[in-house]
Chains A and B, each alone.
Chain A
Amino acid sequence: MRTHVAEPWVEAPLQTFVDEANALFALLLHPSGQVMGQFGFTRAVDVMAACALAAAIHASAGELGRELQGKPFRELYHAGRNRQIFIGDVPTTHHRFVFLTVFDAESSLGLVRIYFQELCTLLQHAQPPLLAQAPIADASFEQDLNRSLAALFSRAPRADGGESSISLA
């Protein structure tokens, strides 16, 4: 199973992480919730939900960290009965991302943390030069989101610029 990405430069680092850490799911997103790349998800609606939740959890943990220790928490880990989740902050020179991964007993928190550090380094080296960006408006955010999801699931967004052609049901 391969990773699916909205930006080509994140593919190799993400695939390396998935292969090395033996992750079940992986998701790289902007702190705003816009997806950059994913592994393991089969439905667009799951990616959207995971992105929204990861962005919210990351924002909440960041604020909590600022309240408690004056700086945001960078990593968050939760162990379930069979699966475990890890959410981490990916700082690069030009961008800041949030990374979410789900793994089971085939991997471990220690391995995930090692390969997460490696992922951060690979993304730092792979990132393209910073381009001037216009402020994100509500309408363009939704279009960008749909475009990313369409790229991830290999479907073209509708020409009218409205909702994505991806079935969200």
Chain B
Amino acid sequence: MSASPFEGVLSLLIRQRGVLGCLVVGEADGIVVDSNVQVGIQSNVVAALAAALYRKARLCSAAAGLSTVSFLQLEAERGHICAIGRDGLVLVTLAEPRAHIGRIRGAMIESLGTLA
């Protein structure tokens, strides 16, 4: 069985400090393509909701004339959800509050080419 093309990206992201999980999700259907998440995270639920959120943000940005969404960050009481997308796929990262978002953002943008 061959390895997933997203394995490298996911293992790079999961190694960042404070990252709880990362997923590659189909934007239109919200189904997990590949993931690397800690035990206890409901990856299917996170994937579907994060993909819907990213899609709405993309449509909102386009409607406002702001062009494409380069990076989406949701800040919550107990952590962050970051999303970045390309060609119908969304890369989602879940992180603790202590995580260094700048580094995660850099790693996600660097990984964008893999989603193509």
Contact = CB atoms under 8 A, between A and B. Distances in A.
Q: Is the interface of A mostly helix, strand, loop or mixed?
A: helix
B57 interface: no
A49 interface: no
Interface in B28-59: 28-31, 44-45, 47-49, 51-52, 55
Given A105-B28, A108-B30, A113 B49 contact: no
A108 B48 CA distance: 8
Interface string A91-108: 000000000000001011
Nearest to A107: B52
- Contact count band on A: under 10
A107 B30 CA distance: 9
Contacts of A110: 25-26, 29-31, 44, 47-48, 51-52
A108 B28 contact: yes
Interface in A72-112: 105, 107-111
A114 interface: yes
A114 B46 CA distance: 10
B93 to A, nearest CB: 18
B48 A111 contact: yes
A113 B49 CA distance: 11
A113 B55 CA distance: 18
Contact of B49 (A105, A109, A111): A111
B50 to A, nearest CB: 9
Interface of A: 105, 107-111, 113-114
Interface of B: 25-26, 28-31, 44-45, 47-49, 51-52, 55
Given A108-B29, A109-B30, A110-B44, 11 more contacts: A108-B51, A108-B52, A109-B31, A110-B30, A110-B31, A110-B48, A110-B52, A111-B30, A111-B48, A113-B44, A114-B48
15 contacts: A108-B30, A108-B48, A108-B52, A109-B31, A110-B25, A110-B26, A110-B29, A110-B30, A110-B31, A110-B44, A110-B47, A110-B48, A111-B48, A113-B48, A114-B49
